[in-house]
Structure 1
Amino acid sequence: MRRIDLITQACDPKTLTVGQLMQDALFTCTARTDALTIGRLMTKQNFGGLPVVAEDGSLVGLVTEYDLLQAMIEGRDLHKVLASEIMTTQPLAAQENMTLEEVANLFQDRYVTRLPVVRGKQLVGIVARRDVLHGYMKASAYWS
């Protein structure tokens, strides 16, 4: 669920934080999850990326559509390919206290569409460009 959907009163969009914009109902995988399972989950849920977490819930990577497509182009058997083999390690991540403007600039500057949100090393959410736009529009509707 988008946390921004819980906002019911006037809010200056400039004060919104990633913690308010992010989705906290997460789907994740482990480094040992096979690429076929990841691909099935991503297509079923309409995700463009899936965070990879360790047993303690810390973020260790991110598998994206790009990663899966690259493995397919290379002719690899997705049933035998593990997340650890194709994931981006040490992915760019957002912090809960980042402002809407800061995360929007990060999306634009780094050409990414979604970011895992971490508290320390713990994965606590995911924020996408559309969450930022949705939050801005929702807050603006009340603010105007």
Structure 2
Amino acid sequence: MKAQDVMSVDIVAATENATAIEVATRMVLGIFNGMPVLDEDGRLAGQITTIDILKLVRKGRNLSTTLAKEIMSPDPVTVHEDASVEEVIDLMDKFGVMMIPVVEKKDGGRLVGVCSRYDILKEILDQKFVAIGRTRTATTTIG
């Protein structure tokens, strides 16, 4: 099984100029533990996690004026679409991360998805089951 088989492709990414309060709000609304951050060219610039936001709160920083580029972890661990799930799990374990951005080998490493621990576990468990019918999803767009 490859990263492209388990990755989430409907992802939310922040821009470098998004404020910490905007990022935190999207994380809470989407029930995310983190999200990629894109530069002005749409390329992966970094990653922000809930612990990054919580550290700001602990330090008493203003979430409305702190920008994503100030708190993101630059150059996050990434994998290509054809990376094995075992490789993804090994990287998650080695670096202690809950999600890994998936980037294309071509086109300058454009972000194409995210592999989370949940995504991998869900795919492994789903292999023994068959879904009949369709899943209904409600989506709300803010701003």
Structure 2: which amino acid aligns with 1:111? G
Deviation of 1:40 after TM superposition, in Å, equals: 0.6
Structure 2's unaligned 5+ residue stretches are: 131-143
Identity %: 31
Partners of 2:127 and 2:89 lie apart in 1 by 15
Secondary structure at 1:56 match in 2:
coil
> Cα deviations across residues 5-45 of structure 1 (Å, max 9, x unaligned)?
xxxxxxxxxxx100010000111111110000000110011
Structure 2: which amino acid aligns with 1:68? I
Deviation of 1:70 after TM superposition, in Å, equals: 0.8
The two structures, once aligned, show a CA RMSD in angstroms of: 1.4
Partners of 2:13 and 2:116 lie apart in 1 by 15
Residue 77 (structure 2) pairs with residue 78 (structure 1): no
Number of residue pairs matched?
Answer: 127
* Residue from 5, 9, 25 that aligns with 1:40: 25
Aligned partner of 1:114 in structure 2 is 99
Structure 1's unaligned 5+ residue stretches are: 1-15
Deviation of 1:139 after TM superposition, in Å, equals: 2.7
Residue 123 (structure 2) pairs with residue 135 (structure 1): yes
Could you list the structure 1 runs, at least 4 aligned residues long, displaced by more than 4 angstroms after superposition.
none
Partners of 1:126 and 1:87 lie apart in 2 by 16
Partners of 1:139 and 1:67 lie apart in 2 by 34
* Higher normalized helix content (fraction of residues): 1
Q: How does 1:1-144 map to 2 (within 5 A)?
A: 16-120=1-105, 121-140=109-128
TM-score, normalisation: structure 1: 0.83
